Structure 1
Amino acid sequence: MPHPRLGAVLHTMQTNGSKRTFIVSLYVWFLRTMAVLCLIAALMNWAQLTGITQNGNLRFDMLDTHWRMLKTVLAVILPAAGLGLWMTQSWGVVLWLFAMCLELLAFGVWTELFEPRSMTVLTHSVAILFWALLSAGIFIEKRHQQRTGFEHL
């Protein structure tokens, strides 16, 4: 979950973007990259559920119950997460983390129900780790600026 002060940092980033530090700019670019990937994943998910791709083999009515539940939740959350991430809103980060953790559980833990996807587990883990490092960097930078009395953000 994002740190409470992160919301203030995100608000600052939106209101006076000309004063962004490198780490904040990197964070914004990371969120926007993840937003694009979320929207692409959402479109692919919807294409599968509606039978446009995979010769209709992954259509909603042809899936087992556990796949229906996963695909339905992702079909709703991924577009919303993408929108929130693009706007650099903390709720977008929360939805994105929820979707990533859900896929980590499905393809890394519940492999007897779903299929093991080691590349998905790896890429999601790396993305979450990178987000955590950037968030920690922003927190440390903000704390240092508050201690020194210098507000650059």
Structure 2
Amino acid sequence: MPTLDDLDVNLSGLKSDADAVPENLDRLYQVFLVVVTLICILGAVNYWAQLMGISYGGALRFDIAPLHWKIVQVILALLLPLTALGIWFRNSFGLWGWVLVTAIQFIVHGLLKDSYGENEMHLAVSAGIVVLFLIFRFAFYRREKERLEEGKE
């Protein structure tokens, strides 16, 4: 029965399972960024629909909304699409835009819920994204640390 040595097969070009893990981590992170981008786009559509009076029965239409709602609606309707573009193209303004949008939403629906109402879904999704982002950052840190340790040996 022939063996690999008899067939003159060179296996040095194949990647090991250890090399596949970083690629999988990178792919998962890319999927995560796409999901966050889609969430930002859906949020932007929601705020634009509020401004135009399409959602909430027109109660938050820009011309009849209370001033405090107008300010938040306009800021988020402009920031969310820009944040989505920044995340999609992996620019730093995407991350900072998302941090700003999340902070505004936590203030509005967490601290000022008497004026804006509770929206636990916004808070839960934002908190989940923060946790996932920190997990990815920790995984990338560990990967770099392992690469540096392998380079020293």
Tell me which interval the TM-score lies in, with the shorter structure as reference length. 0.7 to 0.9
Runs of 4+ in 1 over 4 A off after TM superposition: none
Which of 25, 28, 31 does residue 29 from structure 1 map onto?
31
Q: Percent identity between the aligned chains?
A: 24
Q: Would the aligned equivalents of 2:87 and 2:94 in 1 still touch at CA under 8 Å?
A: yes
SS in 2 for 1:44: helix
Match for 1:67 among 69, 90, 94?
A: 69
Q: Given the two structures, how large is their TM-score scaled by the length of structure 2?
A: 0.77
* 1:115 match: 117
- Check conservation: 1:97, 1:128, Cα contact below 8 A: no
> Normalising by the residue count of structure 1, what TM-score does the alignment of the two structures yield?
0.77
1:145 aligns with 2:112: no
Q: Is the Cα–Cα contact under 8 Å of residues 47 and 53 in structure 1 kept in the other structure?
A: yes
Q: Structure 1 residues 90 and 136 mapped into 2: Cα distance closer, same or farther (>3 Å)?
A: farther
Give how far 1:74 is off: 0.4
CA distance in 2, matches of 1:83, 1:139: 25
Unaligned stretches of 5+ residues in structure 1: 1-18
Map 1:93-104 → 2, pairs under 5 A: 93-104=95-106
Gaps of 5+ in 2: 1-20
Q: RMSD over aligned Cα, in angstroms?
A: 1.9
State how many pairs are aligned. Answer: 132
- 1:47–1:119 CA distance, 2 compared to 1 (3 A): closer
| Change over 3 Å in CA distance of 1:116–1:99 after alignment to 2 | same
Measure, in 2, the Cα distance between the counterparts of 1:109 and 1:63.
20
Task: Encode CA deviations 1:38-91: one digit per residue, 9 max, x unaligned.
Answer: 111101211210123333221112111211111111011100111111122232
Instruction: Flag the structure with larger Rg.
Output: 2
Amino acid of the structure 1 residue aligned with 2:39: L
Q: CA separation of 1:55/1:73 partners in 2, compared to 1, >3 Å: closer, same or farther?
A: same
Alpha-carbon offset, residue 126 of structure 1: 1.2
Please identify, of 33-42 and 134-143, the stretch whose mean Cα deviation from structure 2 is larger.
Answer: 134-143
> Aligned partners of 1:118, 1:34: CA distance in 2, in Å?
18
Mapping for residues 125-140 of structure 1, pairs under 5 Å: 125-140=127-142
Distance across 2 between alignment mates of 1:120 and 1:95? 16
Secondary structure of 2:114 counterpart: coil
Please give the secondary structure, in 2, of the residue aligned with 1:52: coil
